């Protein structure tokens, strides 16, 4: 059997929200693989680098040009029989680099049951039948809208942003305020269900408004933001200052003038991630990424239900009915990475404060390890796991070894490592950074066993 180390040729998508030309990490990484025959057009936006077996943009073996999906289906040992059986002989995760210049759509991804229904009914807009929980790790500073704010913050904005209150209507605003008053942080099941129902009604009252009405209200909103600055929205809520929100409204209006998303942001947490910070989004969680370069790992799906900041197909009835309407501060979605215990660092790695950090979401399909080797000769030896891995270098250079096979690895290079293979990373520069996505259903690395 061949050594299970395969260098991958990965495709890049050109969407309007992507960074342009060489400003895009996704484009730079795609161009780093010599056999890719890909050259960067400095006038073109490049949004996503895809690493995996999803049929929309499948990765290939650099040497043979066969798709990774073909190789996996021909040799189940690359995945492990258990994972092949559970996930249908395809990689259970999709690994991506996103380079975000302007806002992505306000969106959510359906759970497994809904995905099956949507795909059967509308395969053009919902191309597969899988769910899409996802994890985001910042490679550069990132900002986005993620999950519904605590209810007290939404109530605050209904009281301090007149154009928002006018747009959803006085009756809808009062009904929301009265329904949640005194129960905003209650942990009782009855109160939580009542609050979610009230939030659904208030959110639906906004996103179902006629576009011309929204556009008129948006002009008033933007004018107020420009005029009031730090006093905008009553000086802001506990999570965001008035000037921060005013600047955000003006910035997003410059990208999507008069869009409903300018008002949706008062319902959602506005979050900033520093490099290395991460968050996890369950299926049915609402979000919109706004700017930055990120590592994204998700279940292998391309289903998106949209409702703003996009010229693409929007399915507002599905979105308003599918959301969980969970409300919480953004701290509840941020992840707490931990040292990865199943790697051995050599003396050079230890003495240079090298590290291997595990991001472990509460699902089976994937986890991610970030490895930083901070000196020449620093080495990390990963114990074999009973599942597949995909590894990308995001900074510096070094080598990757599996069995008797060693390959040079530089920024943008991507490798697949088969199941049950020991993997060694060694730096030949002063900083060698990699991210490894992997899946193992049971044993020491199982997400289901994580605390």
Q: Is the dihedral of CA 263, 266, 267, 271 positive or negative?
A: positive
Task: Give the whole-angstrom CA distance, residue 275 versus residue 404.
Answer: 35
Q: Is the dihedral of CA 235, 236, 241, 246 positive or negative?
A: negative
User: Of 73, 52, 71, which Cα lies nearest the Cα of 10?
Assistant: 52
**Which of 28-37, 72-81, 400-409 holds the top average pLDDT?**
400-409
H or E segment at 367? strand 367-373
Phi and psi, residue 364, nearest 5°: -85, -30
Instruction: Give the burial string for 67-106 (b: 16+ CB within 10 Å, else e).
Output: bbbebbbeeeebbbeebbeebebbbbbbbbbbbbbbbbbb
Average pLDDT over residues 53-82: 90
Concatenating the DSSP letter of every residue in 399-426 gives EEEETTEEEEEETT-EEEE-TT--EEEE
Look at residue 165 and tell me whether its pLDDT is greater than 50.
yes
Mean pLDDT, rounded, of the chain: 91
pLDDT at 364: 87
pLDDT tens digits, one per residue of 349-373: 999 999 999 999 988 889 999 999 9
Average pLDDT over residues 414-434: 96
DSSP state of 127: -
What are the Cα distances from residue 8, in Å, to 33, 53, 64, 411, 446?
Answer: 8, 11, 10, 13, 25
Average pLDDT over residues 84-88: 84
Look at residue 449 and tell me whether its pLDDT is greater than 60.
no
pLDDT at 129: 65
pLDDT at 307: 86
Task: Give the whole-angstrom CA distance, residue 3 versus residue 78.
Answer: 10
Going by pLDDT thresholds of 50, 70 and 90, the confidence category of residue 89 is confident
Look at residue 383 and tell me whether its pLDDT is greater than 90.
yes
Cβ distance 416 to 8 under 8 Å? yes
Residues contacting 115, CB < 8 A, separation 6+: 109, 126, 128, 129, 130, 131, 132, 301, 303
DSSP state of 228: H
pLDDT tens digits, one per residue of 203-259: 999 999 999 999 999 999 999 999 999 999 999 988 999 999 999 999 999 999 999
Q: 0.85 exceeded by the pTM?
A: yes
pLDDT tens digits, one per residue of 300-336: 666 678 888 888 878 899 889 889 899 999 888 899 9
Going by pLDDT thresholds of 50, 70 and 90, the confidence category of residue 447 is very low
pLDDT tens digits, one per residue of 259-297: 999 999 999 999 999 999 999 987 678 999 999 999 999
pLDDT at 441: 76
Going by pLDDT thresholds of 50, 70 and 90, the confidence category of residue 450 is very low
Average pLDDT over residues 100-125: 80
pLDDT at 448: 31
Task: Give the whole-angstrom CA distance, residue 284 versus residue 325.
Answer: 9
Look at residue 339 and tell me whether its pLDDT is greater than 60.
yes
Average pLDDT over residues 88-102: 92
Which residues carry out catalysis? 306
pLDDT at 26: 96
pLDDT tens digits, one per residue of 118-147: 667 777 777 666 656 789 999 999 999 999
């Amino acid at each position: 059997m061949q050594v299970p180390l395969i260098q991958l040729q990965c495709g890049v998508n050109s969407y309007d929200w992507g960074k342009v030309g060489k400003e895009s990490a996704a484009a730079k990484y795609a161009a780093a693989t010599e056999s890719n025959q890909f050259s960067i057009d400095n006038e073109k936006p490049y949004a996503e680098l895809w690493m995996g077996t999803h049929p929309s943009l499948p990765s290939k073996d650099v040497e043979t040009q066969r798709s990774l999906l073909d190789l996996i289906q021909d040799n189940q040992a690359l995945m492990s029989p258990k994972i092949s059986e559970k996930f249908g002989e395809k990689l259970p995760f999709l690994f991506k680099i996103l380079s975000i210049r302007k806002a992505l759509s306000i969106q959510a991804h359906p759970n497994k049951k809904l995905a099956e229904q949507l795909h059967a009914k509308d395969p053009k807009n919902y191309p597969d039948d899988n769910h899409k929980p996802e994890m985001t790790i910042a490679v550069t500073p990132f900002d986005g809208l993620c999950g519904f704010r605590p209810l007290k913050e939404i109530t605050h904005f209904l009281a301090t942003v007149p154009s928002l209150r006018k747009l959803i209507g006085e009756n809808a605003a009062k009904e929301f305020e009265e329904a949640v008053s005194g129960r905003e942080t209650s942990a009782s099941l009855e109160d939580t269900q009542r609050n979610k129902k009230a939030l659904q009604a208030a959110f639906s009252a906004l996103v179902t408004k006629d576009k011309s009405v929204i556009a008129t209200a948006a002009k008033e909103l933007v004018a107020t933001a420009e005029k009031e600055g730090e006093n905008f929205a009553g000086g802001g809520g506990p999570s965001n200052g008035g000037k921060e929100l005013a600047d955000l409204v003006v910035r997003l209006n410059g990208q999507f003038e008069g869009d409903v998303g300018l008002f949706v942001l008062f319902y959602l947490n506005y979050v900033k991630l520093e490099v290395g910070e991460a968050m996890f989004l369950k299926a049915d969680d609402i979000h919109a990424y706004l700017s930055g370069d990120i590592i994204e790992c998700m279940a292998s799906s391309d289903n998106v239900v949209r409702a703003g900041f996009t010229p693409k197909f929007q399915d507002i009835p599905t979105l308003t009915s599918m959301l969980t309407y969970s409300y919480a501060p953004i701290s509840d979605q941020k992840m707490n990475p931990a040292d990865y215990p199943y790697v051995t660092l050599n003396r050079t790695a230890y003495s240079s404060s090298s590290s291997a950090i595990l991001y472990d979401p509460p699902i089976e399909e994937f986890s991610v390890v970030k490895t930083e080797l901070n000196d020449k000769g620093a080495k990390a030896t990963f114990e074999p796991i009973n599942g597949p891995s995909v590894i990308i270098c995001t900074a510096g250079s070094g080598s990757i070894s599996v069995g008797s096979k060693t390959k040079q690895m530089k920024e943008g290079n991507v490798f697949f490592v088969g199941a049950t293979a020991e993997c060694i990373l060694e730096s030949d520069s002063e900083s060698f950074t990699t991210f490894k996505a992997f899946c193992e259903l049971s044993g020491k690395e199982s997400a289901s066993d994580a605390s």
